[in-house]
Amino acid sequence: MEYNLEDTIALLARTPAVLSSLLRDLPEAWTHRNEGEKTWCPFDIVGHLIHGERTDWMARANRILESGETRPFDPFDRLGQQRESQGKTLPQLLDEFARLRTENLAALRTLNLKPADFARRGKHPALGVVTMSELLATWAAHDLTHLHQISRVMAHQYRETVGPWSAYLGVMHCNGHSS
Amino acid sequence: MEYNLEDTIALLARTPAVLSSLLRDLPEAWTHRNEGEKTWCPFDIVGHLIHGERTDWMARANRILESGETRPFDPFDRLGQQRESQGKTLPQLLDEFARLRTENLAALRTLNLKPADFARRGKHPALGVVTMSELLATWAAHDLTHLHQISRVMAHQYRETVGPWSAYLGVMHCNGHSS
C-alpha cells in the first residue's frame, strides 16, 4: 500500500490534545505512579515525548535529506526526558509537548515532501538502512506505543482494586513490552 | 490502600474527551481498520463502550444497592455494540458516549456513596461475589483496557510501514489480550 503522509500527520497532530485530555489535572495517583522500580509514570513518558520532538524525529528527517546513508542518525538518548522534565509540572510538560509538536509539523510541511522522497534512505545507528516513510510512520507509531504504555501504567494502579475482574481486563495482562 | 471514588470519577469523566481528541475526523484508515477477522476497529470499540454505559455499569451498581448478593447481575452482551453502532457515524457515537457517560456520572453522584458502601457485595454471574469498589474501579480500568486496545489496533495499521523500527515499538509486540 502506498504511503500516505496525510494519515501520519493527522495522527501526530492529535496526540498533544489526547494526552492533555487524559492527563491534565488528573490526580497524581494516576499521573505520577509507575509500574515499579525503573519503570516510567505518565509524567516521565510526556518528558520522553518532548525529548523526541526536540532531538529525534525532524532531526532525522533532515539528516536523510541532507546526507542520505552517508551520515548515520545521532543515537537517541532514551533517558533524555530526565533533563526535559526536571522541576516542571505536568501541565507545563503538556504545553511544551503541544508547542514542539506544532512547530515540528509546520517544519515537516515546509519540507514539501513528494512521493519520491518517501523512499529516500538514511542510516540508523543500530537498525541500518531505513527510509523516510519508515521514519515518519515510526514517529506516529511511537505516539501510539506510549499511549498504549500510559493506559497500561494507569491500569496497573487498579490491579488489586478491581478484584476478580482483572481476569477480564486485557490491559492487566499486557506484559510491558513498551518500557 | 483505601478506595478513592474521586480518583475513579476523575478518570471516567475524561475518557469521552480522550476518544474524541484521538478519533474524531481522523481518516478511516485509522478508525475503521481492525487487526484481522473477528477483531474490532476503533469504531466498534466506541460502540462497545456505549453499550456498557447503557446496560452495564450503573445497572450493576444499582443492583448491588437494591439486592446485594441475592440477585446476580444480568450478563453483559459483548456483541451489543453492533446494535448501538448500526447506521451511525463515528462522530455520532462519540457524542452519544459523552452524553451517556455524563448522565451516568451524575447518577453515580446522586447515589452519594459513603466509604461503608464501597464494601457492599453483589454477585457476578461468572466471577461470583464482588464489591461496589471493585465494580467502580473496573469501570475505569475498562476504559483503560479499551484505550490500550485502540492504540494497539491503530499501531497495527503501520506494522509494515515502520519497517525495521517495529523491533523497538512495544505496541507492535502486544499480543492482543483485549479483544
For residue B89, give how far its alpha carbon lies from the nearest alpha carbon of chain A (Å). Answer: 19
Cell 475524561: give the residue: B14
| Pick from A130, A170, A178: CB nearest B170 | A178
Residue B170 burial (CB count, 10 A) = 21
B131 at interface of A, judged by CB pairs closer than 8 A? yes
Write the residue in B17, B148, B168 that is nearest to A171 by C-beta: B148
pLDDT tens string, chain A, 179 residues long: the values are 689 999 999 999 999 999 999 999 999 999 999 999 999 999 999 999 999 999 999 999 999 999 999 999 998 777 777 888 889 999 999 999 999 999 999 999 999 999 999 999 999 999 999 999 999 999 999 999 999 999 999 999 999 999 999 999 999 988 776 54
Query: Nearest-CA distance from A150 to chain B in Å?
Result: 8
Residue A147 in grid coordinates: 499511549
How is residue B112 written as a grid cell?
A: 452519594
A39 touches chain B (CB under 8 A): no
Say if the Cβ atoms of B14 and A29 lie within 8 Å.
no
Among residues B24, B41, B31, B28, the alpha carbon closest in space to that of B179 is found at B41
> What pLDDT was estimated at residue B7?
98
List C-alpha distances in Å: B70 to A70, A157, B121, B124: 73, 31, 10, 11
* Grid coordinates of B161: 510501514
Q: Best residue in B134, B148, B149, B152 to probe A by mutation, most A CBs within 10 Å?
A: B148
- Give one word for B98, left, alpha or beta, with left for phi > 0 and alpha for psi -120 to 50: alpha
- CA atoms within a 13 Å half-sphere pointing along the CA-CB vector of A101: 26
Rounded average pLDDT over B153-159: 97
Distance in angstroms (rounded) separating the CA atoms of residues A73 and A55:
11
User: What is residue B128's predicted lDDT score, i.e. its pLDDT?
Assistant: 97
The pLDDT of residue B179 is above 70? no
Q: ipTM higher than 0.85?
A: yes
pLDDT tens sequence across B49-81: 999 999 999 999 999 999 999 999 998 777 777
Residues in chain B: 179
What's the pLDDT score for residue B158? 97
Is B141 in contact with A172 (Cβ distance < 8 A)? Answer: yes
For A171, which DSSP code?
A: G
Which string of DSSP letters, residue by residue, matches A38-93? T---HHHHHHHHHHHHHHTHHHHHHHHHHHTTSSPPPPP-TTTHHHHHTT--HHHH
- Distance separating alpha carbons of residues B89 and B24, to the nearest angstrom: 10
Q: What is the pTM of this model?
A: 0.96
- The answer to whether B170 and A178 have CB atoms below 8 angstroms apart is yes
Residues of B in contact with A30 (CB under 8 A): 7, 10-11
B77-135: pLDDT as tens digits: 777 778 888 899 999 999 999 999 999 999 999 999 999 999 999 999 999 999 999 99
Considering only CB atoms, B26 lies closest to which of A11, A138, A168, namely: A11
Contact B170 A163 (CB under 8 A): no
The single-letter DSSP state of residue B161 is T
Q: Is A12 near chain B, with CB under 8 Å?
A: no
Beta bridge partners of A123: A129
For Cα atoms A83, A89, A94, give the angle at the middle one, nearest 5 degrees: 85
Instruction: Give the three-state DSSP class for B78.
Output: coil
pLDDT, position A178 = 55
Residues of A in contact with B169 (CB under 8 A): 138, 141-142, 145, 178
Q: Report chain B residues whose CB lies below 8 A from the CB of A145.
A: 151, 155, 169-172
Mutate to test the interface with A, among B142, B174, B177 (most CBs of A within 10 A): B174
- Spell out which residues of chain B touch residue A127, defining contact as CB-CB under 8 Å: 164-165, 167-168
